[in-house]
Amino acid sequence: MAITARILTVTLNPALDLSARVGQMLAGPKLRLSAPHYEPGGGGVNVARAIYALGGDVLAWVAVGGASGAQHLGLLQGQGVAVQPFAAPGETRQSWAITDDAGQQFRLQLPGADWPAALGPQALADILAHAPGLVVLSGSQPPGLAADFAQTLAAQLGPERLIVDTSGPALLQLVRGPRPAGCPAVLRLDQAEAEGLAGKPLATVAETAAFARALVAQGVAVRVCIARGADGSVLADEASAHHCRPPAVPVQSKVGAGDSFTGGFTLALAQGQTAPEALRLGTAAAAAAVMTPGTALCRAEDVARLLPECDLAAL
């Protein structure tokens, strides 16, 4: 079996995730929810949980604060994930996923506390001190943190080290900002983000691949991966592009599918698999995640079963 190098996941703006059920979402009256289920959340945290579930060697670097931050850390450590906490200002934010009896899911997120300017360089130094192998920077950035944090981290880490899945100003900075020395090894986008950046619908796999190639040509990242929902994901680099489509699966919750993808994808790279093989494992992990309820992520047994059914093709 391949030896897995330790992976560091970075979560700058984690969230204490609460999921519950309600009969019907209505404006006005008080709504009675079921007993809530708590999970440690945030992009990098969920990626770490997925890697751990798949048997990978991972350390979760998490910026947390206050009582909700302490609860978040306790939950994450209780799941067996190794944690490197970093002191963040204020209270760690909360997010909610409310599902009604019709199967509709309502997702509500808070922004997180503002970071003072001096905290960004301190976080960068601490991340670099705990990063022996691949690094995954996933999730939103807290208010106050410089938008070019991901680019700075990529430059400090060196080539082929950083995988980025972010949003908002940080994503815009990566795609449209100045190009510093060094770029992420992989940038992952969902379809809505990709279409927003492209300024048009990406209705076909070919259109998605063309946009991914364009971002690579611009120096945004060495590889660009774009999710297409139930249609799978497209991965492109300077020389090639691939599409992987998952099998049809019963959908319970779409929460965590993207993070499960990133976890499976990164784990495969850490094991020495090729980028297309990593695309396939990520696709299986994402498909497995939508089969689980609430904020639960992929299960290893589901990923193993679905992996041979994921259709990988060169474009």
Indicate which residues carry an active-site annotation.
259
Beta bridge partners of 162: 135
Closest CA to 54 of 1, 116, 112: 1
Q: What angle do CA 21, 26, 31 make, to 5 degrees?
A: 50
Residue 314 amino acid letter? A
Closest CA to 106 of 21, 183, 182: 21
Give every strand in the sheet of 82-87, ordered side by side: 82-87, 58-64, 7-11, 135-138, 162-165, 186-189, 223-227, 233-236, 241-245, 311-314
Whether 114 and 142 have beta carbons less than 8 Å apart is answered as yes
Joined tokens for residue 173 = 């900075």
Closest CA to 279 of 299, 291, 297, 261: 261
